[in-house]
């Protein structure tokens, strides 16, 4: 599988069940989210602006897309968590080979700053994203177990201590529109 197929399969609206594990404290977090994934044109103003900022050119880009999410957590409703549970990110893949490359992200996963992830698509179609942030290193894996169900895991390590801080797992279920007969 190549990145454009992965993006095409991901486009749509999803309901996500996400479990977060804080390893040191053995705490579970449960989050239910709505996720929208839209394909964008390379000429889209947001894509053009972000490319200008990052110093990459349009010619290198393939299948840019946007993710919007909005969730509710079973943890306390602190402002910090609320901010994390709603947002959007622009993702711009740039291929280096048929199954690997980088992905520019207007907003990171483990930290909210913009980030560049390295991606690799394994032979059995799991995509693995590695991102080095200021304080942490994150590895995300996404794989389809059905055309309408994606699994997504993440592992966040501390850069300083190389300890695993937290892991997470999401089951994402496509919202299938009812046919009008």
| Cβ-proximal residues to 13 (8 Å cutoff; 6+ apart), any chain | 34, 35, 36, 37, 174, 175
63 vs 17, 39, 57, 116, 168, CA distance in Å? 26, 7, 14, 16, 26
Note whether 153 binds a second copy by CB under 8 A: yes
- 13 near a second copy, rule: CB under 8 A: no
Kindly tell me which residue out of 43, 45, 59, 123 binds a second copy, with binding defined by CB under 8 A. 123
- The answer to whether 68 contacts a second copy (rule: CB under 8 A) is no
53 binds a second copy (CB under 8 A): no
CB 69 within 8 A of CB 24: no
Residue 91, token pair as written in the block:
């993702």
**Which pairing describes strands 127-132 and 149-158: parallel, antiparallel, or unpaired?**
unpaired
- CB-based burial of residue 111 (10 Å sphere; 0-12 exposed, 13-18 middle, 19+ buried)? middle
Assess 159 for contact with a second copy (CB under 8 A). Answer: no
Q: Which span (63-71, 83-91, 96-104, 167-175) binds a second copy, by CB under 8 A?
A: 167-175
In terms of CB distance, is 63 or 168 closer to a second copy?
A: 168
Looking at 61-69, 85-93, 109-117, 120-128, which segment touches a second copy (CB under 8 A)?
120-128
**Cα 173 off chain centre by:** 15
174 counts as binding a second copy under rule CB under 8 A: no
Binding piece for a second copy, criterion CB under 8 A, among 4-12, 16-24, 94-102, 108-116: 16-24
Give contact residues for a second copy (rule: CB under 8 A).
15, 17, 19, 21, 23, 26, 28, 30, 32, 122-124, 126, 128, 139, 145-146, 149, 151, 153, 155, 157, 162, 164, 167-169, 171, 173
């Amino acid at each position: 599988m190549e990145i454009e197929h992965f993006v095409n399969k991901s486009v749509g609206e999803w309901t996500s069940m996400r479990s977060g594990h804080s390893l040191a404290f053995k705490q579970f977090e449960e989050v239910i989210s709505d996720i929208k994934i839209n394909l964008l044109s390379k000429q889209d103003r947001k894509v053009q602006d972000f490319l200008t900022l990052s110093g990459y050119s349009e010619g290198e880009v393939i299948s840019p897309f946007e993710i919007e999410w909005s969730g509710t957590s079973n943890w306390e409703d602190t402002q910090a968590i609320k901010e994390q549970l709603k947002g959007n990110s622009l993702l711009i893949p740039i291929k280096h080979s048929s199954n690997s490359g980088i992905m520019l992200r207007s907003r990171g996963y483990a930290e909210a700053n913009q980030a560049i992830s390295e991606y690799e698509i394994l032979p059995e179609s799991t995509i693995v994203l590695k991102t080095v942030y200021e304080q942490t290193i994150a590895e995300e894996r996404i794989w389809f177990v059905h055309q309408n169900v994606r699994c997504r895991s993440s592992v966040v390590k501390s850069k300083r201590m190389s300890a695993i801080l937290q892991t997470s797992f999401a089951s994402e279920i496509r919202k299938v529109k009812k046919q009008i007969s």
